[in-house]
């Protein structure tokens, strides 16, 4: 019983950690030396980072841009 509950908590923790992603503008090719760091779920980060790339870096909002950003997502460490 106790083992089962502990196991479930461990899985939940792992799931939350695995879900949290980050986009670090310092690792993206940029001419602006931007240091923005966005973290959250993959979809949240993808939306925010896409808007940021369009607003601050002059990118066009295309499926290709989203795909590039998705590829650049890293696991958040916070
Ligand atoms: Zn930026």
Using one digit for the tens of pLDDT, what is the confidence trace for 1-18? Answer: 566 666 666 666 665 555
pLDDT band at 32 (very low <50, low <70, confident <90, very high): confident
pTM of the model: 0.72
Distance from the first to the final alpha carbon of the chain: 31
The radius of gyration of the chain's CA atoms, rounded to the nearest angstrom, is 16
55 vs 13, more confident? 55
Q: How far, in Å, is the centroid of ligand 1 from the Cα of 19?
A: 22
CB 41 within 8 A of CB 32: no
53 vs 1, more confident? 53
Q: How far, in Å, is the centroid of ligand 1 from the Cα of 67?
A: 16
Q: How far, in Å, is the centroid of ligand 1 from the Cα of 25?
A: 5
What's the mean pLDDT when you consider all of the chain? 84
Q: How far, in Å, is the centroid of ligand 1 from the Cα of 34?
A: 5
pLDDT attached to residue 14:
62
């Amino acid at each position: 019983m106790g083992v089962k509950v502990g196991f479930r908590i461990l899985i939940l923790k792992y799931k939350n950690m695995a879900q949290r992603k980050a986009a670090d503008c310092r690792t993206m090719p940029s001419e602006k030396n931007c240091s923005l760091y966005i973290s959250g779920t993959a979809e949240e980060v993808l939306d925010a980072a896409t808007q940021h790339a369009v607003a601050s870096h002059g990118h066009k909002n295309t499926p290709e841009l989203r795909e590039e950003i998705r590829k650049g997502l890293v696991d958040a460490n916070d």
